[in-house]
Amino acid sequence: MVRLILFLVIVAAAATGLAWLADRPGNLVINWEGYEIETSVFRAVVLLSALIGAALFAWSIMRQIWSSPAAVGQFMSKRRQQRGIEALSSGMIAIGAGDRNSATRYAIQARKSLPNEPLTHLLRAQAAQLSGDGATSRRIFEAMLASPDTEQLGLRGLFLEAHRENETEAARQFAERAIALNPKLGWAVDSLFAIQCREKDWPGALETVAIARKHGHIERVSADRRRAVLLTAQAIEKEDSDPERSLNLAIEAHRLAPDLVPAASFAGRMLASRGNTPRATKIIQKAWSKSPHPDLATAYAYARLGDSPRDRFDRVRQLAALNPMSVESSIAAASAAVEAKAFDEARSALEPYLEGRLTQRICLLMARIEGEQHGNKGRVREWLARAVNAPRDPAWTADGIVADQWQPVSPVSGALDAFQWRVPLESADKADSDILQKKLEELVPLGATTDPALTAMPIDASVAGDNDAEPVPSQPYKPAMSAERHRVAMDAHRPASAVRSAQHRASEPQPVQRSAEVAEADVIEPPATPAENAQPTRATLQASSPPLAAVAPASSIPAAKPTPSIVTQTSPPAATEAPAPAPAARKDTPAPAATIKEANAKASAAYARLSEKTRPAAAAPVESKEQRASTIPEKIAPATPRPASVGPTSGGRPGSRDSRAAESKVFVPPRAPDDPGPDTGDAEELQPPTRGYRVSN
């Protein structure tokens, strides 16, 4: 817009001038070396303007021709610079993405296009680091040290390389050089401070804290806390070599951080050892009001040398009154009371925490009270068992490490002031009994045990005490009858027990029908035993142990003819069928033939008595005993005598009888052709007998 206005102004001025000349005519005469030139003023002005314009045009052309090489070079340089900037941008993106091949390619392009650009060196060094070429990256960073513009960048790169290679001394030197070059570099101050803390260079760390506070890297509160921790660590180191210097450092640390327990306890202990009890108690009381701790209680209890346990208990009670809501106050008072044999006061101090806020130290104190006051080992074990499951007490912890004593730096990370007084996290692969192993050593004389297992176990009679539970015999269990004798007794009575059915077919009472005899019955096939096997069995029985004398001999059963019998199963199998415990291999004992005959005779008599009791009066006439006896042999083939099975049974267990040797068979008499069928109208239910019948005892 400005250019347009300016152009219009120029055109208007030119037009105005030309119009002014045209309105004032005149002649212009030039005489030069005999020549006379005459023209009008208007023409002369126009001609002069044209000559001036032509001269200017010619001059511009000549100037462009003269400056064309420089213009071409400038154009090429600008174009190369543009390509370098694009390569730098793409290379940084590739490094951020982790593409080492692209980063290396763009670094080469950037170096060709921008050889003196600092970012080009940084891109090359980072590309070498990404490729794992540490030597190349260090060489590039060392080259940066030659230029003041890139010296700080080179120092940081060299520090990172040394830190990655665990070259602590080289890293420390690079950090110190960077701080000397520019103290405002935060990374240099923090890195040097961390290295000094790991190496326990407390004086150097104090200087670094001062530099950090001076240049605003940390706040004043944080700086005072760091200085207090460093002074405490330095005081602990100089306790033996320079006690006076150590005491002054501890007092200064307590002044900077009154809640720092190690500084207060150390200063109180040092002052108490020099007899300065008032100042020691003042320092400990100030720290106790802010951070109660067992170390403070111990230092306060022994602040005056030569005091009796009762005096120490009175002093600890005064300390506990400064912070009565803390559990450490109650534990400290209870511990001092136990030392003074004031067990009632100790119980009173711990009573508020016995219901729902139990900890391991409280349980151990209660176990000690029970042991020293009453000598009750049972109560001691009870409290020790409760200590296993009780929550843990606070301890000095840092980075998952639990330490017995406070340490200025963490053994894992090397960080300063990492240990804090708090409840440690429970370890999944460490039993609670292992955690309490060291704590229980002092309670061993009171009845405690250092074994990992603290649960109730059977007590051997040889070591049982007066207060223990009923002892359990330590000998292995022995049965009243040996397995061999039990098997011999079972073999002697097995023919009689074979009378019972293999399965109980009718568990509920069934109605009696007119046209049928007993619906189901078990037919016993008595196994026959050769006569020559009877004598060895008798000899075996006579050689048995006295418990077999109580068994009724087989000869006491009345003899009867061995005929097939039908017996109604009225009760489940007795307990005599239960298998005996599996003993060692035994000798084969065949069943005697006389026993088989007597057992069958007893079975026949039992069936006859049962039939008379269970047959209904209103039932239709059925076959007589003689007819039934004559019918049964026609329908059922007599069993072939065979010896008793003494080999392996179906289950494969040697020495037991085969359960299939006396398999039961069922006989149902056929219905007569003129029998109209069962009349269920007048049938009555058969009441089950009150007891069953057993052939043998």
pLDDT score, position 438: 54
Residue 522 is inside which H or E element, if any? strand 522-523
**Closest by CA position to 335, among listed 324, 322, 345:** 345
Give the separation between CA 111 and CA 104, rounded to whole angstroms: 11
Q: The tokens of 411 are what?
A: 């053994």
Confirm if 117 and 153 have CB atoms less than 8 A apart.
no
Confirm if 667 and 567 have CB atoms less than 8 A apart.
no
More confident residue, 584 or 327: 327
pLDDT at 619 over 70: no
pLDDT per position as a tens digit, 172-202: 999 999 999 999 999 999 999 999 999 999 9
- The confidence band for 265, taking pLDDT boundaries of 50, 70 and 90, is very high
pLDDT at 353 over 80: yes
- Listed in sequence order, the DSSP H helices in 291-359 are 294-301, 309-320, 327-339, 343-350
**CB within 8 Å of 647: residues ≥ 6 apart:** 654, 658
Give the separation between CA 566 and CA 523, rounded to whole angstroms: 5
**CB within 8 Å of 512: residues ≥ 6 apart:** 614, 615, 616, 619, 683, 684, 686
Q: Name the range with the highest mean pLDDT among 371-380, 509-518, 645-654.
A: 371-380
More confident residue, 683 or 126: 126
pLDDT score, position 594: 52
Q: Which amino acid is at 578?
A: A
Q: Which amino acid is at 289?
A: S
**CB within 8 Å of 603: residues ≥ 6 apart:** 499, 524, 565, 567, 695
pLDDT score, position 376: 86
Give the separation between CA 516 and CA 199, rounded to whole angstroms: 107
Give the separation between CA 400 and CA 403, rounded to whole angstroms: 10
pLDDT per position as a tens digit, 266-276: 999 999 999 99
- Listed in sequence order, the DSSP H helices in 30-40 are none
pLDDT per position as a tens digit, 105-125: 999 999 888 888 888 889 999
Confirm if 252 and 266 have CB atoms less than 8 A apart.
no
Give the separation between CA 551 and CA 244, rounded to whole angstroms: 97
The phi, psi pair for 484, rounded to 5°, reads -65, -45
Query: Across residues 63-81, what is the average pLDDT?
Result: 86
Q: Indicate the average pLDDT of the chain.
A: 73
Q: The tokens of 100 are what?
A: 């080492």
Q: How many residues does the chain have?
A: 697
**236-245, 280-289, 647-656, 671-680: segment of lowest average pLDDT:** 647-656
Give the separation between CA 331 and CA 333, rounded to whole angstroms: 5
Give the separation between CA 369 and CA 365, rounded to whole angstroms: 6
pLDDT score, position 477: 38
More confident residue, 464 or 423: 423
- The confidence band for 443, taking pLDDT boundaries of 50, 70 and 90, is low
The phi, psi pair for 290, rounded to 5°, reads -100, -40
Confirm if 302 and 271 have CB atoms less than 8 A apart.
no
Give the separation between CA 534 and CA 455, rounded to whole angstroms: 58
- Tokens 């002044």 -> residue: 255
**Closest by CA position to 227, among listed 213, 245, 241, 246:** 213
pLDDT at 481 over 50: no
Give the separation between CA 237 and CA 239, rounded to whole angstroms: 6
Give the separation between CA 672 and CA 540, rounded to whole angstroms: 53
pLDDT score, position 22: 77
More confident residue, 347 or 428: 347
pLDDT score, position 442: 53
Give the separation between CA 41 and CA 48, rounded to whole angstroms: 11
The phi, psi pair for 170, rounded to 5°, reads -65, -40
pLDDT score, position 228: 96
The phi, psi pair for 549, rounded to 5°, reads -70, -20
Domain boundaries, the chain: 373-456, 486-501+520-571+586-607
Give the separation between CA 630 and CA 612, rounded to whole angstroms: 19
- The confidence band for 289, taking pLDDT boundaries of 50, 70 and 90, is very high
* Residues 555-576: b if buried by 16+ CB within 10 A, e if exposed: eebeebebebbbbbbbeebeee
400: left (phi over 0), alpha (psi -120 to 50) or beta: left
Residue 377 is inside which H or E element, if any? helix 377-389
Q: Are strands 35-40 and 395-398 parallel, antiparallel or unpaired?
A: unpaired
pLDDT score, position 197: 95
Strand partners, 398: 401
pLDDT at 502 over 90: no
Query: Measured between alpha carbons, how far apart are the two ends of the chain, in Å?
Result: 134
565: left (phi over 0), alpha (psi -120 to 50) or beta: beta
CA 31 to chain centre: 119
More confident residue, 433 or 44: 44
pLDDT at 658 over 70: no
Q: Name the range with the highest mean pLDDT among 55-69, 510-524, 618-632.
A: 55-69
**CB within 8 Å of 364: residues ≥ 6 apart:** 383, 384, 387, 436, 439, 440, 443
Give the separation between CA 687 and CA 86, rounded to whole angstroms: 109
**CB within 8 Å of 672: residues ≥ 6 apart:** 515
The phi, psi pair for 39, rounded to 5°, reads -155, 170
Percent with pLDDT over 90 in the chain? 43
Give the separation between CA 249 and CA 464, rounded to whole angstroms: 58
pLDDT score, position 287: 95
Residue 32 is inside which H or E element, if any? strand 27-32
Give the separation between CA 567 and CA 605, rounded to whole angstroms: 10
- pTM higher than 0.95 for the full model? no
Q: Counting beta carbons within 10 angstroms of the beta carbon of residue 377, is it exposed (0 to 12), middle (13 to 18) or buried (19 or more)?
A: middle
Q: Sign of the CA dihedral 613, 614, 620, 623?
A: negative
Confirm if 191 and 199 have CB atoms less than 8 A apart.
no
Q: The tokens of 125 are what?
A: 């060094």
Give the separation between CA 654 and CA 588, rounded to whole angstroms: 10
- Edge-first strand order for the sheet with 420-422 is 401-403, 395-398, 420-422
pLDDT score, position 650: 40
pLDDT at 463 over 50: no
Give the separation between CA 154 and CA 343, rounded to whole angstroms: 70
pLDDT per position as a tens digit, 395-430: 999 998 999 999 999 999 999 999 999 998 865 444
Question: Alpha carbon of 480 to those of 127, 181, 405, 485, 660: distances in Å?
Answer: 88, 96, 62, 10, 31
